[in-house]
């Protein structure tokens, strides 16, 4: 696998505002990567640098091995880009616009009609070919934008918030289309909604206030999260008369348990939160310890932070989640 | 080159679906027609020489209002609607974009002038005009229009508001136009300097049927310089 998009130490200042802070990530060929972050995190800035619309203040960005600044035209020829809110010429007709863009992107004149036909079919625009873009609904305009990005059959697709402003049915349709496109193209799409990228993407790059907070495949990120796992038990002393301190001490000695926190759960019950040692599963040992001492157990479950919680943590400005940090494959 | 043609064609066809372009064109043709046809303006009446000098002079002024109305959308609209991002991330250079913007509008402008050729036909039918000054006048108008369009495109590149683009284009053109008349009342060196810097002095010779290199150079220079600045404005997003 070759890296299709490589971003290294990319930094962008707008005047005195830092929009991107030494961002580093890579997108491998054939991946669908979700570029996730809250509004204003620097997603659009990064995408604009990749597409050659803006230069970076420092750092390096390469698409298909080409530097976006030094070989701007070649890079742009190999990218299909759909900017946020899909700007289009409202006074043009769908087919006319796609032909024009195909020409601009260097599709030879004799192939243009076929190229347009292909994307019109791909993006379900067949009945809209002769319509004025200005008279299309938001959903159809989005499709025209997607068709435009595809018309020169680029290796890389860069889509900025491709489903924003669509209704639920259209969102599903667009997701399906993007997944299909992922079979032939390398895709980097931005979004500020986690479930959105969870459903379409295989890999994530999470960005918050200009910094890359986490990157990796969905599984890797989820695996990283198990390190934040806790086992919760609610235990009562029964007839033994042991106090909460003794319970915490005993459970702390169970195989695989690292740390125990306790709190009163009322009516003589004690809630104990056990953090496992790295990579260990203490659940069986914990049960054995409770049963062995003759204590009563009324609840035992495991909690792990969800991706959603991780994302909220990151985007709330809490950067202290190194446990969930993982590197790209 | 192929991309310039493609972009120019899109630009030109955008004018043909733009209401502002039709309004500007109608206004221009109405005023030109009024100044050509109505006897008390002296252009087309019995006993007078069959000539278009007067209507051409009036046009140099009217066009200062009409051309900015055409050019104001050129880049400002792209900026306002965000299409500039798709345009500049396509594999085309900034220079190609600017040249196409210029050519598209200039061709529309030439198309707008074309109906006034009927005036020359009318003169030939009813009188015996000297065609030298008429041909010179049209060549002059083509060059003057190129300059007006280039200044208009430059103004349009500076803002996303079309009204501002209009005003910003109109003022430098007005200043260039009045430099000559202002200089007329000043002492010697200033009189010559302002006269030569202004638009009118350079247009007058065309109107007399003289196509002199110095006057051609004046309009071409201002045109090229304005387009050069427009490219720089587009590039400025890269270092701002």
Q: Which DSSP helix (H) or strand (E) runs through B121?
A: helix B117-126
pLDDT over 90, % of chain A: 37
The residue of B83, B89, B100, B235 whose CB has the most chain A CBs within 10 angstroms, and thus the best one to mutate to test that interface, is: B89
What are the residue boundaries of the structural domains of chain B, listed by start?
Answer: 2-238
**Do A105 and A191 fall into the same domain?**
yes
Q: What is the mean pLDDT of residues A178-191?
A: 91
Q: What is the pLDDT of residue A170?
A: 85
Taking the Cβ of residue B160 and every Cβ of chain A, the question of whether any pair is shorter than 8 Å is answered with no
Q: Which residue has the higher pLDDT, A91 or B239?
A: A91
Taking the Cβ of residue A269 and every Cβ of chain B, the question of whether any pair is shorter than 8 Å is answered with no
Q: What is the pLDDT of residue B181?
A: 85
Which residues of chain B make contact with A104, given a CB cutoff of 8 A? 3, 6-7, 90-92
Which residues of chain A make contact with B90, given a CB cutoff of 8 A? 76, 101, 104-105
Q: Which of A48, A76, A90 sits opposite B90 (nearest CB)?
A: A76
Query: What are the distances in angstroms from CA A283 to CA A37, A120, A265, B175?
Result: 35, 56, 20, 86
Q: Which of B89, B92, B237 sits opposite A51 (nearest CB)?
A: B89
Helix (H, G, I), strand (E, B) or coil at A79: strand
Residue A188's contacts (CB-CB under 8 Å, 6 or more residues apart) are: A5, A27, A33, A35, A47, A50, A156, A157, A158, A159
Distance of CA A5 to the CA centre of its chain: 16
Position A321 in a domain:
no
Position A110 in a domain:
yes
Position A117 in a domain:
yes
Position A312 in a domain:
no
Query: Which residue ranges of chain B lie beneath pLDDT 70?
Result: 39-48, 239-240
Sign of CA dihedral B74, B79, B81, B87: positive
**Do A114 and A258 fall into the same domain?**
no
> Residues A30-79: pLDDT tens digits?
899 999 988 888 899 999 999 999 999 999 999 998 999 889 999 999 99
Q: Which DSSP helix (H) or strand (E) runs through A46?
A: helix A43-50
Sign of CA dihedral A83, A87, A93, A97: negative
- For B33, counting Cβ atoms within 10 Å of its Cβ (0-12 exposed, 13-18 middle, 19+ buried), the class is middle
Q: What is the pLDDT of residue A67?
A: 92
**Do A201 and A259 fall into the same domain?**
no
Q: How confident is the model at residue A130 (pLDDT cuts 50, 70, 90)?
A: very high
Q: Using alpha carbons only, what angle is made at residue A18 by residues A211 and A186, rounded to the nearest 5 degrees?
A: 45
Query: Would the pLDDT of A106 be above 50?
Result: yes
What CATH number does the domain containing A279 carry?
3.30.70.1320
Position A308 in a domain:
no
The distance of A83 to chain B (nearest Cα, Å) reads 7
**Do A64 and A212 fall into the same domain?**
yes
**Do A150 and A263 fall into the same domain?**
no
Contact B156, B233 (CB under 8 A): no
**Do A205 and A277 fall into the same domain?**
no
Position A311 in a domain:
no
A178-187, A287-296, B103-112, B201-210 — which one is most confidently predicted on average?
Answer: B103-112
What CATH number does the domain containing A105 carry?
3.40.50.300
Q: Which residue has the higher pLDDT, B173 or A223?
A: B173
Taking the Cβ of residue A44 and every Cβ of chain B, the question of whether any pair is shorter than 8 Å is answered with no
Residue A283 CA to residue A274 CA, distance in Å, equals: 9
Query: Would the pLDDT of A324 be above 50?
Result: no
For B19, name the nearest residue in chain A, comparing CA atoms only: A91
The distance of A213 to chain B (nearest Cα, Å) reads 27
Q: Is A248 left (phi over 0), alpha (psi -120 to 50) or beta?
A: alpha
Q: What is the pLDDT of residue A318?
A: 46
Which residues of chain A make contact with B84, given a CB cutoff of 8 A? 87
> How many domains does the structure of chain A reveal?
2
Flag the least confident range among A7-16, A212-221, A223-232, A297-306. Answer: A223-232
Query: Would the pLDDT of A326 be above 50?
Result: no
Query: Would the pLDDT of A256 be above 90?
Result: no
pLDDT over 70, % of chain A: 95
Domain end (from A195, A224, A253):
A224
Domain end (from A204, A224, A244):
A224
**Do A274 and A209 fall into the same domain?**
no
**Do A195 and A219 fall into the same domain?**
yes
**Do A149 and A286 fall into the same domain?**
no
Q: Which residue has the higher pLDDT, A328 or A120?
A: A120
Residue A127 CA to residue A137 CA, distance in Å, equals: 13
For A96, name the nearest residue in chain B, comparing CA atoms only: B10
Bridge-partner residues for A33, per DSSP? A188, A203
> Residues A194-219: pLDDT tens digits?
888 888 898 999 998 888 888 888 88
Q: Which domain holds residue A246?
A: 230-303
Whether A105 sits inside 8 A of B91 (CB atoms) is yes
**Do A129 and A272 fall into the same domain?**
no
- For A227, counting Cβ atoms within 10 Å of its Cβ (0-12 exposed, 13-18 middle, 19+ buried), the class is middle
Q: What is the pLDDT of residue A325?
A: 41
Residue B78 CA to residue B98 CA, distance in Å, equals: 12
Q: What is the pLDDT of residue B102?
A: 97
> Residues A66-89: pLDDT tens digits?
999 889 999 999 999 999 889 999
Query: In this structure, what token pair is assigned to residue A178?
Result: 């993007």
Whether A83 sits inside 8 A of B85 (CB atoms) is yes
- Report the mean per-residue pLDDT for chain A: 86
**Do A195 and A275 fall into the same domain?**
no
Q: What is the pLDDT of residue A322?
A: 42
Q: What is the pLDDT of residue A40?
A: 83
Phi, psi of B211 (to 5 degrees): -105, 95
**Do A17 and A138 fall into the same domain?**
yes
């Amino acid at each position: 696998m070759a890296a299709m998009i490589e971003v290294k130490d990319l930094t962008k200042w707008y005047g005195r505002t830092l929009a991107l802070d030494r961002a580093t990530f890579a997108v491998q060929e054939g991946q669908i990567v979700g570029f996730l972050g809250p509004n204003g995190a620097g997603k659009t800035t990064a995408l604009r640098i990749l597409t050659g619309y803006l230069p970076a203040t420092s750092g390096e960005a390469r698409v298909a091995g080409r530097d976006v600044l030094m070989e701007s035209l070649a890079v742009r020829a190999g990218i299909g880009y759909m900017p946020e809110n899909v700007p289009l010429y409202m006074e043009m007709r769908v087919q006319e616009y796609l032909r024009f863009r195909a020409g601009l992107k260097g599709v030879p004149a004799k192939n243009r009609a076929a190229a347009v036909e292909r994307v019109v079919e791909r993006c379900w625009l067949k009945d809209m070919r002769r319509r004025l873009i200005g008279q299309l609904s938001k959903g159809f305009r989005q499709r025209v934008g997607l068709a435009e990005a595809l018309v020169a059959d680029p290796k890389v697709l860069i889509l900025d918030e491709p489903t924003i402003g669509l209704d639920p049915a259209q969102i599903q349709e667009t997701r399906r289309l993007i997944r299909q496109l992922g079979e032939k193209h390398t895709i980097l799409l931005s979004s500020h909604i986690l479930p959105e990228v969870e459903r379409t993407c295989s890999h994530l790059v999470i960005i918050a206030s200009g910094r890359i907070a986490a990157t990796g495949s969905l599984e890797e990120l989820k695996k990283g999260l198990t390190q934040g796992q806790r086992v919760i038990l609610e235990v009562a002393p029964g007839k033994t008369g042991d106090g909460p301190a003794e319970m915490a001490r005993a459970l702390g000695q169970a195989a695989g348990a690292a740390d125990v926190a306790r709190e009163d759960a009322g009516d003589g019950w004690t809630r104990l939160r056990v953090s496992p040692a790295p990579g260990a599963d203490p659940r069986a040992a914990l049960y054995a310890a409770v049963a062995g001492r003759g204590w009563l157990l009324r609840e035992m479950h495991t909690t792990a932070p969800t991706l959603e919680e991780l994302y909220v943590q990151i985007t709330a400005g809490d950067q202290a989640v190194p446990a969930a940090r993982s590197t790209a494959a | 080159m192929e991309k310039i043609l493609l972009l120019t064609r899109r630009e030109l066809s955008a004018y043909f679906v733009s209401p502002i372009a039709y309004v500007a064109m109608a206004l221009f043709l109405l005023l030109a027609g009024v100044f050509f046809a109505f006897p008390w303006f002296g252009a087309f009446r019995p006993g007078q020489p069959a000539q278009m000098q007067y209507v051409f002079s009036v046009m140099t002024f009217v066009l200062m209002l009409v051309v900015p109305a055409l050019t104001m959308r050129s880049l400002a609209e792209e900026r306002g609607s965000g299409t500039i991002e798709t345009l500049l991330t396509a594999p085309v250079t900034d220079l190609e974009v600017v040249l196409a913007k210029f050519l598209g509008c200039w061709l529309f402008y030439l198309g707008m002038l074309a109906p006034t050729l009927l005036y020359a036909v009318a003169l030939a039918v009813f009188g015996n005009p000297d065609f030298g000054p008429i041909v010179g006048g049209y060549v002059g108008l083509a060059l003057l229009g190129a300059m007006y369009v280039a200044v208009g495109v430059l103004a349009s590149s500076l803002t996303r508001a079309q009204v501002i683009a209009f005003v910003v284009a109109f003022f430098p053109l007005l200043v260039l136009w009045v430099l000559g008349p202002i200089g007329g009342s000043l002492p010697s060196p200033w009189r010559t300097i302002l006269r030569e810097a202004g638009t009118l002095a350079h247009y007058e010779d065309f109107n007399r049927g003289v196509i002199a290199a110095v006057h051609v150079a004046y309009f071409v220079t201002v045109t090229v310089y304005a387009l050069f600045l427009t490219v720089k404005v587009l590039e400025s997003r890269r270092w701002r």
